[in-house]
């Protein structure tokens, strides 16, 4: 007890004694609560220190993860750019090949048209030569027929005279 008066305490009236006891109980209770609150405060300070440490660890871990993500994203962007460039080069090459093929097709068309023209020219010459030969043959036949007819006429005149 906080208040110890010994024998003098016995001479103090009961109401005063009970008042002192109540005050002493209140002081003891406040002392206990103060100790409990001090312990809770220490626990919370320890918990706060742990949380602060955990936050720092997580922050460092997140920074590392973020740096890794940025690095991965940068690498991915680089790969995409390379792929796009490769695709553009491939497309350009295909366009060049298509143009070359179109040029070859056009050249073959021109060549085929020229071949047809030359062929038609040869055919036309052959046709003209055949027509001339037929005309010549026709003239020969007419001449031969004319000669035969003249001979026959001459023979008939000889026979008739």
* Bigger pLDDT: 66 vs 139: 66
Q: What is residue 5's predicted lDDT score, i.e. its pLDDT?
A: 53
Q: What is the mean pLDDT of the chain?
A: 87
The answer to whether 21 touches 28, Cβ cutoff 8 Å, is no
- 3 has pLDDT over 60: no
Residue 8 pLDDT exceeds 90: no
Lookup: tokens for 94: 């295909």
pLDDT (tens digit, 9 = 90+) per residue, 67-100? 999 999 999 999 999 999 999 999 999 999 999 9
pLDDT-based confidence at residue 1 (cuts at 50, 70, 90): very low
Residue 62 has pLDDT above 90, yes or no: yes
Distance of CA 129 to the CA centre of its chain: 68
**Residues 16-39: b if buried by 16+ CB within 10 A, e if exposed:** eeeebeeeeeeeeeeeeeeeeeee
Name the percent of the chain lying above pLDDT 70.
Answer: 90
């Amino acid at each position: 007890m906080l208040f110890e008066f010994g024998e003098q305490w016995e001479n103090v009236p009961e109401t005063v004694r009970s008042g002192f006891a109540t005050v002493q109980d209140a002081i003891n209770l406040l002392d206990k609560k103060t100790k409990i609150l001090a312990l809770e405060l220490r626990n919370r300070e320890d918990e706060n220190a742990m949380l602060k440490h955990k936050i720092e660890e997580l922050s460092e871990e997140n920074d590392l993860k973020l740096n890794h993500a940025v690095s991965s994203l940068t690498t991915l962007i680089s790969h995409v750019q390379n792929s796009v460039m490769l695709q553009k080069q491939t497309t350009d090459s295909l366009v060049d090949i298509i143009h070359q093929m179109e040029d070859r097709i056009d050249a073959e068309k021109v060549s085929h048209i020229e071949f047809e023209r030359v062929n038609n020219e040869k055919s036309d010459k052959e046709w003209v030569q055949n027509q001339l030969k037929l005309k010549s043959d026709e003239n020969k036949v007419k001449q031969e027929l004319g000669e035969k007819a003249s001979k026959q006429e001459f023979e008939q005149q000889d026979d008739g005279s």
